[in-house]
Amino acid sequence: MKLILTQEVSGLGAPGDVVEVKDGYGRNYLIPRGLGLRWTRGGERQIDQIKRARSAKEIRSLEHAQEVQAQLSALAVSLPARAGDTGKLFGSITTADIARAIKSAGGPDLDKRTITMRGAVKTVGRHQVTVHLHPAVTAALAVEVVAAD
């Protein structure tokens, strides 16, 4: 079965790639989860749209990744969240929340899947996150979670 990938699939390809997979894998896993579309002649036009959207967020080269790493290390990211009197959050902070906080602090628009945390963030305070910018470049970032009023 020929598919057009709409998202990154580890070991298979990047968004916009046309891949050949087994029928069951495509029909039962990739298509229902929105990771791929059936390849058609009309779908070829969608590849261009997918690749344009991908290039807008993509780190283009090693040098660009190093520039973004320097930009991230200069950022002071503060994330307000509802918390109790003891400093424990009502809920937890997700990677999507961190990506939005980085963007609102003046940083680049990052994909939430590039951000990794050690465990769930459920308390007020300073937490360390890692941003994977390029296979050779990762950035460590401190995120300050503060209690919102």
Inter-CA distances, 6 with 79, 87, 95, 125, 135, Å:
30, 40, 20, 37, 21
What confidence score (pLDDT) does residue 67 get? 85
- pTM over the 0.85 mark: no
Domains of the chain: 2-57 (3.40.5.10), 62-147 (3.10.430.100)
Which pLDDT score is estimated for 5?
87
* pLDDT score of 52 more than 80: no
What is the reported pLDDT for 144? 93
pLDDT digits (tens, 9 = 90+) for 21-30: 999 999 999 9
In angstroms, the CA 34 to CA 68 distance is 29
As a whole number of angstroms, the distance between CA 60 and CA 66 comes to: 11
Query: For residues 26 and 7, is the Cβ–Cβ distance under 8 A?
Result: no
Spatial separation of the C-alpha atoms in residues 50 and 7, rounded to whole Å = 9
